[in-house]
Amino acid sequence: MNRRFACPFALAMLLAAAPARATVLTELSDSLQQLAGKVAPAVVQVEVTRLGPEQDEDGQGAALIVRQHAMGAGVIVDPDGYIMTNAHVVEGAQRIRVMLPLPLTASADESFAGRARALEAKVVGSEKLSDLALLKVEASDLPTLPFNLNRPPQPGELVFAVGSPGGLRNSVTMGVISSAWRQPDPDNPMVYLQTDAPINPGNSGGPLVDVTGGIVGLNTFILSAGGGSDGLGFAIPARIVDFVYRSLRKSGHVDHVEIGVGAQSITPPMAQGLGLSQDWGVVVADVLPQGPADAAGIRPGDVVVSVDGHPTPSLISFTASLYQHLPDQVVKIDALRGDQRLSFRVASVMARNRRGQDLDFPDPMKSHIAPLGILGLDVDDRLRTMLPGLRAGSGVIVLGHAPGLDSVDTGLQPGDVIHTLNRTPIDSVQELQSAAAVLTPGDSVVLRIERQGQFQFLAFEME
């Protein structure tokens, strides 16, 4: 008897549940439409005109400089016409126009849905490291989107990417947060949100929003073999976008702090050899004498646990926390020294500009160190005055790269100061030229350099 009535009962339950399911789906669809309607008015299309080389498919013929057009997206973050976008979208721009969606009136039909007004925009400031730029248009009472800074995004969280892929304004795609902490380039300290919401060329600079319509990130690039969306999209986290926005709006550039320490990732052999309390995380490797960290009591070998209350399980998290620190506030650092937990309040100072950028350019024939592919300058009394943070009184400052057929990739950067080559002291360009001239292919070379106030070694082989 039970089997006899089981199927009719189950069918009746399904029939009864069908309207409920339809109602849930309808409510979900309505909610998504309302979200898109809320977000779209604050998202603009960014049209850029710049000069660049004409693409030559066969690689022959003279290069021609032509007018180029590029397109991206942006999001209005202030009703008085401030718009955040990617720095690469507006790089080298001669002219920038933004297309602002016009709101539909009660009497308008669907044929007016694509209406927009064009406004000229200027760049308030940009920063290549974060790939962010702030634009300004002369308008007021514009619709905006807020940054969602209340909590960090979580993997699996539903998000929506809005932009102009292929010039199609206010295209909305849906996906989830694949990872809330991704570092695609190990040599770049920037971290990103990873999402599978479809992102294509033209989405750059548009917002990634959550179900409340708050900005959780700014779409910036994709990883794709074919150039289209493969579900590997990356967005700059809202906290970084907000920090850069406030800095650019205040001064046109981004101010970063430094506290006078050099940090490294902890490895198990390092932890064993130094007797550290843990074999992962971040250890202080160098402390600038008489610098802020030194004055606060931080010592080499201290294991950094958190910066400003943010845990630092990796070097990238340590770097990111300092990157987002406000210049006018004390840096709060918790650390382990053996079994003892310590807290430090470190006075932050503005990061110095890269050395060498304001120096007079010398005679290239005299400053060229050909085997190393660099141009150098003696550190003299004048330079010591210009570079008050220099820890050693002599050496050769790297002004730039000048690679030749026989030069090697050394890893040197403009602003580095070379002090020794294979334990031979270097006090002048002439001494460096002489020491480098006797090197032959296959020779191992170790340079001791000073980079932004910290000593380190660069090792390579001559080719």
pLDDT at 224: 64
Compute the average pLDDT of residues 369-378: 86
Question: What digits encode the pLDDT tens for the residues 47-62?
Answer: 999 876 665 555 554 4
- Is residue 88 among the annotated active site residues? yes
Q: How far apart are CA 152 and CA 158, in angstroms?
A: 13
Q: What are phi and psi of 283, to 5 degrees?
A: -120, 145
Please name each of the domains of the chain with its CATH number: 42-52+65-104+113-137 (2.40.10.10), 158-251 (2.40.10.10), 257-350 (2.30.42.10), 364-461 (2.30.42.10)
Give 137's pLDDT tier (boundaries 50, 70, 90): very high
Identify the active-site residue in 88, 325, 368, 419. Answer: 88
Place of tokens 């790939």: 131
Q: What is the pLDDT of residue 202?
A: 82
131 is catalytic: yes
**pLDDT of 151 strictly over 90:** no
pLDDT over 70 (residue 33): yes
pTM flag (> 0.85) = no
Name the band, by pLDDT with cuts 50, 70 and 90, for residue 1: very low
Cβ partners under 8 Å of residue 367, min gap 6: 375, 376, 377, 399, 429
Quote the pLDDT of residue 75: 96
Alpha carbon 201 to chain centroid, angstroms:
19
pLDDT of residue 4: 47
Stronger pLDDT, 97 or 171, i.e. the higher one: 97
Task: Give me the mean pLDDT over the 88-102 stretch.
Answer: 90
* Pick from 252, 359, 374, 264: nearest CA to 312: 264
Q: What is the pLDDT of residues 297-333, one digit of tens each?
A: 999 999 999 999 989 988 878 888 888 787 767 899 9
- The residues facing 171 across adjacent strands are 163
In angstroms, rounded to a whole number, what is the distance separating the alpha carbons of residues 305 and 385? 37
pLDDT of residue 194: 93
- The residue from 130, 164, 178, 204 that is catalytic is 204
Q: What is the pLDDT of residue 182?
A: 81
pLDDT over 90 at 394, yes or no: no
Q: Which of 151-160, 181-190, 215-224, 322-331 has the lowest mean pLDDT?
A: 181-190
Residue-level pLDDT at 106: 42
Task: Using alpha carbons, list the distances in angstroms from residue 91 to 5, 69, 128, 225, 248.
Answer: 72, 12, 9, 24, 16
Q: Could you tell me if 389 and 368 are in contact, meaning their C-beta atoms sit under 8 angstroms apart?
A: no
Residue-averaged pLDDT of the chain: 82
Q: Letter for the amino acid at 375?
A: L
Q: Are 308 and 321 in contact (CB under 8 A)?
A: yes
| pLDDT for res 97 | 95
pLDDT over 70, % of the chain: 81
Nearest alpha carbon to residue 288 among 306, 327, 267, 262: 262
Q: pLDDT band for position 11 (50/70/90)?
A: low
Kindly state the average pLDDT of the residues 403-419: 78
How many CB atoms are located within 10 Å of the residue 49 CB? 14
- What does the H/E/C string look like for the chain? CHHHHHHHHHHHHHHHHHHHHHHHHHHHHHHHHHHHHHHHHHEEEEEEEEEEECCCCCCCCCCCEEEEEEEEEEEEEECCCEEEECHHHHCCCCEEEEEEECCCCCCCCHHHCCCEEEEEEEEEEEECCCCEEEEEECCCCCCCCCECCCCCCCCCCEEEEEECHHHCCCEEEEEEEEEEEECCCCCCCCCEEEECCCCCCCCCCCEEECCCCCEEEEEEEECCCCCCCCCCEEEEEHHHHHHHHHHHHHHCCCCCEECCEEEEECCHHHHHHHCCCCCCCEEEEEECCCCHHHHHCCCCCCEEEEECCEECCCHHHHHHHHHCCCCCCCEEEEEEECCEEEEEEECCEECCCCCCCCCCCCCHHHHEEHHHCEEEEECCHHHHHHCCCCCCCCCEEEEEECCCCCCCCCCCCCCCEEEEECCEECCCHHHHHHHHHCCCCCCEEEEEEEECCEEEEEEEECC
Spatial distance between the Cα atoms of 63 and 79, rounded to a whole number of angstroms: 43
- Residue 268, sorted as left (phi over 0), alpha (psi -120 to 50) or beta, turns out to be alpha
Encode pLDDT of 260-285 as tens digits. Answer: 888 888 888 888 888 888 989 999 98
From the candidates 130, 131, 229, 368, which is the catalytic residue? 131
Round to whole Å and give the CA distance between 91 and 70. 10
Model confidence pLDDT, tens digit, residues 423-439: 899 999 999 999 999 99
Q: How far is CA 44 from the centre of its chain?
A: 22
- d(CA 84, CA 98) in angstroms, rounded, equals 12
